[in-house]
Amino acid sequence: MEFTCRSSQDNSYKIILEWNAVDRILEILQQELLIDSFYIISDSTVFRHQGRRLQSALGSRSHPFLVPPGETSKSLRQWHKIQDFLVRSGADRRSVLLAFGGGVVGDLTGFAASTYMRGLRFVQIPTTILSQSDSSIGAKVAVNHPKAKNLIGSFYQPRLVITDPSLLQSLPRREFSAGLGEAIKYGVIADPSILDLLDQHMERILAGDQELLTDLISRCIQIKIRVVEQDERETGLRKILNFGHTIGHALEQATGFRRLRHGEAVGWGMLAAGYLGVKNHLWSESEFEQLQSVIFRSGVLYPLGKLRPESILHALKHDKKKTGKSLNFVLPVRMGEVKIVSDIPQPDVLEAIKFMMKTGTTNMKNRKSKIKNAN
């Protein structure tokens, strides 16, 4: 399958969704006239599992640069190291960076590409569900600042996105589940059929079924394209993509960007946002229950560890999406439709955080004991 994401800056780019696309990557790159020196940026885990496959498909024209896995690599420090690597390797304006990894690698590589020599071409080759279905599309690239996630970044289009769901087969279970966080989000904000798909086939999806996975990712890609085409610079519509992200970002920050995967934080954040939707009489309890059930079964929730609700609230205030003093929330109206609400009082936010922590944690315990009892 092929999709095109149109950009206002004449920088439209193609998304190729194809099982085993990586194995014919050289042919794909050549078709898109990306034929100069390639520099692979990847993380050590992805590269251990899939690096040889990529390199052998590329032939000898590849110089890999590896970062440690995890959100902490989305840092100014790694960005500096990539610069030094590119200088050392003699990269010039014709060079092409290949981002081979999840959202962290894509965002980091994209930001490096956008700022090196005022802009190198880069290709996204996402290797996780999150990056295949979400972060590889939309031109938002960034690294984290100690004070806030994604604070340093730009809008910068890739030249091409090569999405190969076969890469997901080597993902550890935790990584796989974390990725479902953003897919669930797409269900709530734009397409109830995604939630139904997950609801009906969760077990086969978690087992890596080729057809279902490709279907799921294809639906997410199409929504993401629709949203970013209408609002490339995140002045309006695109904000709906932040469903679950307001609390999600705060959670990541309050846990030092180390404990949780991004999709996991979004999974937790959707519990809080859903609660606020119901609390504000915007959303029905029954739909919220369907969402909770899908979240729990996906395995996207990961223990928060020791964390006070107040420290999450504190982190919230640094969220860059705030305009002025009020906190913006994306809240569900019905499955497939959300609205942006900007005047949520702090006590309600705190209440939602407490609900999220209690419900999520209780459910995880129940599931654990169920598994124990079953054994």
Q: Determine the Cα–Cα distance for residues 301 and 174; give it in Å rounded to an integer.
A: 9
Q: Determine the Cα–Cα distance for residues 86 and 19; give it in Å rounded to an integer.
A: 31
Say if CB 82 and CB 26 are below 8 A apart.
Answer: no
Per annotation, catalytic residue among 159, 185, 238, 259? 238
Q: Which is nearer to a second copy, 77 or 334 (CB)?
A: 77
Per annotation, catalytic residue among 234, 280, 318, 367? 234
CA 37 to chain centre: 28
Q: Note if 245 is an active site residue.
A: yes
Q: Note if 182 is an active site residue.
A: yes
Angle between helices 285-298 and 346-374 (to 10 degrees): 50
Q: Which is nearer to a second copy, 61 or 145 (CB)?
A: 145
Q: What Rg, from alpha-carbon coordinates, does the chain have?
A: 20
SS3 category, 326 = strand
Q: Note if 317 is an active site residue.
A: no
Parallel/antiparallel/unpaired status of strands 13-17 and 2-5? antiparallel
> Cβ 322 to a second copy, closest distance in Å?
7
> Cβ 246 to a second copy, closest distance in Å?
15
Q: Which is nearer to a second copy, 96 or 335 (CB)?
A: 96
> Cβ 12 to a second copy, closest distance in Å?
14
Q: Which residues pair with 93 in a beta bridge?
A: none
Say if CB 366 and CB 226 are below 8 A apart.
Answer: no
* Nearest Cα residue to 161 out of 9, 8, 22: 22
Per annotation, catalytic residue among 140, 149, 159, 261? 140
Q: Which is nearer to a second copy, 116 or 288 (CB)?
A: 116
Q: Which is nearer to a second copy, 117 or 333 (CB)?
A: 117
Per annotation, catalytic residue among 71, 175, 182, 252? 182
Contact residues: a second copy, CB under 8 A: 8-10, 76, 80, 83, 87, 92-94, 114-119, 140, 142, 145, 147-148, 150-155, 233-234, 318, 320, 322-324
Q: Determine the Cα–Cα distance for residues 36 and 118; give it in Å rounded to an integer.
A: 18
Per annotation, catalytic residue among 249, 259, 264, 287? 249
Q: Note if 314 is an active site residue.
A: no
> Cβ 139 to a second copy, closest distance in Å?
9
* Nearest Cα residue to 195 out of 175, 181, 214, 176: 181
Q: Which is nearer to a second copy, 279 or 322 (CB)?
A: 322
* Nearest Cα residue to 25 out of 114, 125, 139: 125
> Cβ 124 to a second copy, closest distance in Å?
17
Q: Note if 262 is an active site residue.
A: yes
Q: Look at the block and give the residue holding tokens 């999840």.
A: 102
Per annotation, catalytic residue among 245, 261, 264, 287? 245
Q: Note if 118 is an active site residue.
A: yes
Say if CB 156 and CB 111 are below 8 A apart.
Answer: yes
Angle between helices 245-254 and 309-316 (to 10 degrees): 110
> Cβ 45 to a second copy, closest distance in Å?
28
Q: Note if 238 is an active site residue.
A: yes
Q: Determine the Cα–Cα distance for residues 90 and 198; give it in Å rounded to an integer.
A: 47
* Active site residues per annotation: 118, 140, 182, 224, 234, 238, 242, 245, 249, 262
